[in-house]
Amino acid sequence: MKLRLFFLILCSLCAYLYLEAQIEDPKATEVWEPEPRVVSPGTGTAPPSDAIILFDGTSLDGWTNGKGEAAGWKIADGAMTVVKGTGDVKTKRKFGSCQLHLEWRTPKEIEGKGQGRGNSGVFLSDTYEVQVLDSYKNRTYSNGQAASIYKQYLPLVNACRAPGEWQTYDIIYMAPVFNDDGMKVRSGTLTVIQNGILVQNNVEIKGTTPYIGLPKNPPHGKGSLRLQDHGNPVSYRNIWVREL
Ligand code: MG
């Protein structure tokens, strides 16, 4: 019995010393596999090598209006601009979780105020709106200003440039997960960087982003990226996405 106990203690001591020896070796905590694949960055805000280009300034071929017909917005000087009354435009291709880059510009000529000034929006999965608005010295409700998750989260700061200037959004969207019964089992999240400034930090999406009423959670799979026609001639350019 004493002999067994002696061996047990000896084995434990050996295991401990072995693990200690392993931990003292820096190689013990190195991970070599898998090796992350190489992606070549773009220059400035140009798309990286593995991005899907959604709009390069020349064509709306990858886009439709809300009815699936040709998108009615106009293209000029490498940008697409809302044509009032033609409706939202959305990508033919559908996406779930993704990293999205786009650039937007509200009109230099200031017209309207509050929600009526330079209003548009970026909808992830065709459903969740990151607000686009001319929020430069233009007060409105905080959870409806630029870079808000509409009626859910106000932006951490107001990072808006002046009207007529191009601004960037870099959005990390993790789509919500629904089970086979259509119940949401994991909320989606959004992180938004506007003009290089963090404005939404991994917030949990509460559901749809309606003008009136509370968020709802209808189940969905992948969806189009949609840009809003809110009646103001807001422009977009350099839109690319990386699926996550
Ligand atoms: Mg909007």
Reported as a single tens digit per residue, the pLDDT across 18-29 is 666 667 999 999
Q: Quick one: pLDDT at residue 186?
A: 98
Structure tokens at 224: 């189009």
Q: Quick one: pLDDT at residue 14?
A: 58
Query: Distance from the CA of 128 to the center of ligand 1, in angstroms?
Result: 11
Query: Distance from the CA of 104 to the center of ligand 1, in angstroms?
Result: 13
DSSP for residue 41? P
CA distance 184 to 202: 18
Query: Distance from the CA of 210 to the center of ligand 1, in angstroms?
Result: 10
**pLDDT surpasses 70 at 174:** yes
Query: Distance from the CA of 30 to the center of ligand 1, in angstroms?
Result: 47
Query: Distance from the CA of 119 to the center of ligand 1, in angstroms?
Result: 5
User: 7 vs 161, which has greater pLDDT?
Assistant: 161
Query: Distance from the CA of 8 to the center of ligand 1, in angstroms?
Result: 69
Q: Quick one: pLDDT at residue 4?
A: 74
Residue from 242, 159, 144, 227 nearest 193 by CA: 159
What torsion, rounded to 10 degrees, do the Cα atoms 21, 22, 23, 29 define? 160
Query: Distance from the CA of 183 to the center of ligand 1, in angstroms?
Result: 27
CA distance 85 to 185: 37
Q: Quick one: pLDDT at residue 3?
A: 63
Is residue 122 packed enough to be buried (19+ CB in 10 Å), middle (13-18) or exposed (0-12)?
A: buried
Question: How many helices and strands (H and E) does the chain possess?
Answer: 1, 15
- When pLDDT is cut at 50, 70 and 90, the band that residue 37 belongs to is very high
Residue located via tokens 């709802």 = 216
Q: Quick one: pLDDT at residue 6?
A: 62
Q: Quick one: pLDDT at residue 23?
A: 78
Termini Cα distance of the chain? 58
Q: What is the per-residue pLDDT across 42-75, written as a single tens digit (0 to 9) for each?
A: 999 999 999 999 999 999 999 999 999 999 999 9
What is the pTM (predicted TM-score) of this model?
A: 0.90
Could you give all domains of the chain from N- to C-terminal order, each with its CATH number?
Answer: 45-243 (2.60.120.560)
Query: Distance from the CA of 116 to the center of ligand 1, in angstroms?
Result: 9
**pLDDT surpasses 60 at 5:** yes
CA distance 224 to 43: 27
Query: Distance from the CA of 133 to the center of ligand 1, in angstroms?
Result: 7
Q: What is the per-residue pLDDT across 68-104, written as a single tens digit (0 to 9) for each?
A: 999 999 999 999 999 999 999 999 999 999 999 999 9
Which run of H or E residues covers position 120? Answer: strand 120-124
Window from 9-18, 26-35, 164-173 with minimum mean pLDDT: 9-18
Query: Distance from the CA of 137 to the center of ligand 1, in angstroms?
Result: 17
The distance of Cα 81 from the centroid of its chain, to the nearest Å, equals: 21
CA distance 14 to 216: 59
Q: Quick one: pLDDT at residue 21?
A: 60
Query: Distance from the CA of 148 to the center of ligand 1, in angstroms?
Result: 10
Query: Distance from the CA of 11 to the center of ligand 1, in angstroms?
Result: 67
Query: Distance from the CA of 223 to the center of ligand 1, in angstroms?
Result: 18
CA distance 33 to 167: 39
Q: Are the C-beta atoms of residues 205 and 128 closer than 8 Å to each other? A: yes
Query: Distance from the CA of 2 to the center of ligand 1, in angstroms?
Result: 78
Q: Quick one: pLDDT at residue 91?
A: 98
